Amino acid sequence: MKLEELAVRVIEAAEAEGVDFMGVGAIAAGAYGVPRSTRDIDLLVSVEVPGNVSALIRRLSDLVRFDGQVTFDTITWGRRHVGKSQSAPSFKVELFETFDDPFVRSEFSRRQRIFVPILQRQTWLPTPEDVVVQKLRWGRPKDLDDARDVLAVQGPETLDMGYIREWCGGHGTLDRLEAALDGIPPLD
């Protein structure tokens, strides 16, 4: 099974269970920026309805074997459930739980349903502005590249830069934002 096929099956399972979610990570960054190779599927799942995550894990049990131990993610600052696909090649599926963080609440409330070309379907994603803010917040090299690529492809003139700057100011990542903007290659 290809990663894209698995991603569609994971999204369909979340929809079948009526779970509020959005695609994050490489799926979201690639939808708005430059798609990059990845070996995982990341969903942010609402915990507003008790049992959402466990229902989704049960629904995926034929496709994905989840580790019984819930982990605390040091990048996202939330709980995550990590699984591996049962088909070859093996891919990682990560379900991140929403948590009480002002940005995470804002990001999730602003999510939008858009068409994702690599998946050939619509799904829930954060806004491009929220992808930039979150990627700058995480700050790993691949995240900084993703933020720059979303800014380059979408164009700062089409994005709500005031919103982005406000969150980056609160997170202490304005320097990362400026570096990403400075890293956009000029159009010739």
Kindly report, residue by residue over 105-156, the tens digit of the pLDDT.
Answer: 999 999 999 999 999 999 999 999 999 999 999 999 999 999 999 999 999 9
Pull the structure tokens for residue 117.
């070309």
Specify the pLDDT at position 102.
Answer: 94
Q: 118 with 144, same domain? A: no
- Taken in order 20, 135, 8, 155, the sign of the CA dihedral is positive
The alpha-helical segments, DSSP class H, found in the chain are: 3-16, 26-32, 52-59, 102-109, 128-138, 141-154, 161-171, 174-182
What pLDDT shows up at residue 81?
Answer: 93
Residues 121 and 165 in one domain: no
User: Residue 136 in contact with residue 176, Cβ under 8 Å?
Assistant: yes
pLDDT in tens, 84-98: 999 889 999 999 999
Q: What 3-state class would DSSP assign to 83?
A: strand
Residue in the structure block whose two tokens are 């050939």: 120
CATH number, domain containing residue 7: 3.30.460.10
Asked if 14 contacts 45 with a C-beta cutoff of 8 angstroms, the reply is yes
Does 184 fall in a domain? yes
Asked, as a colleague might, if the bond just before 89 is cis with ω within 30 of 0, I would say yes
Q: Using the predicted structure, report yes or no on whether residue 41 has a pLDDT greater than 80.
A: yes
CB of 82 closer than 8 Å to CB of 66: yes
Report the DSSP beta bridge partners of residue 79: 72
Which one-letter DSSP state was computed for residue 91?
-
Residues 2 and 94 in one domain: yes
Is pLDDT above 90 for 173? yes
Tokens matching residue 157: 């003139």
Considering the domain architecture, whether residues 63 and 36 belong to the same structural domain is answered as yes
Query: Please, is 129 exposed, middle or buried when counting C-beta atoms within 10 Å of its C-beta (0-12, 13-18, 19+)?
Result: buried
Q: Which domain holds residue 172?
A: 127-188
- Residue 80 in contact with residue 96, Cβ under 8 Å? yes
pLDDT attached to residue 76? 62
Note whether 45 and 136 are same-domain residues: no
